[in-house]
Amino acid sequence: MRKLIVIGSCAAGLALAAAAWSSAPAITPTSIAGAKLGQGAAAYRKLLGAAQALTGTNADPSHPEDYSRLYFAKREMEVYFKGKTNKAIEITTWNRAYRTPAGVGPCSTVAQLKKAYGASLKASPDNSHGKTVFAYLVGRNMLFATNANPYVTAVAIFTPSAHREPALGYAGFVVLNEVDCI
């Protein structure tokens, strides 16, 4: 009888832990799907699984030449490195299942984004032209790309001091050239 109670208690504890983990936001200002900024390539592969390594314009002319990245197809994420450093400076996702603590993410509408963040949501000055907004900024380092669509196409977190200047411009350039969530 004691074994059954212990086993039942363990199972209940695991179920509660799983429920808490599954409800945790996947996108925060410091991580996406648990992948934190500033780690090395091996840490991301261990956490996120198999990845394809790509380098700048050799793999895709729409990305900066001196940037390399890991492409995680199953996770719908990319992790970016600048030059020969092995510390990530930007992480992007177009995975519609990933959400911020405010409940928005890729494929959310711009109206939902504005409602969730209110006055703290700003049009990215380096990613806007006149009244046309291509990306929105929350805080110092979380970008929501829209490419002037009525929905969020991808989300990025980045390390402003690690990008070349203008940091916001380059971070926006990267996320605006990501795969669309749709």
Residue 3 within any structural domain of the chain: no
Grade residue 108 by pLDDT with cuts at 50, 70 and 90: very high
Question: At 159, which CATH number?
Answer: 2.60.460.10
Residue 141 within any structural domain of the chain: yes
Residue 61 within any structural domain of the chain: yes
Number of independent structural domains in the chain: 1
Residue 182 within any structural domain of the chain: no
Single-letter amino acid code for the residue at 29: P
- Cβ–Cβ < 8 Å for 72, 48: yes
- pLDDT one-digit tens code per residue, 109-165: 999 999 999 999 999 999 999 999 999 999 999 999 999 999 999 999 999 877 666
Residue 100 to residue 57: CA distance in whole angstroms:
31
Q: Please give the residue range of the domain that contains residue 134.
A: 26-176
Residue 68 within any structural domain of the chain: yes
Residue 51 within any structural domain of the chain: yes
- Cβ–Cβ < 8 Å for 105, 99: yes
- pLDDT one-digit tens code per residue, 68-104: 899 999 999 999 998 888 999 999 999 999 999 999 9
74: left (phi over 0), alpha (psi -120 to 50) or beta: alpha
Per DSSP, 179 falls in state P
Please give the model's pTM, rounded to 2 decimal places. Answer: 0.83
Grade residue 24 by pLDDT with cuts at 50, 70 and 90: confident
- What 3-state class would DSSP assign to 121? strand
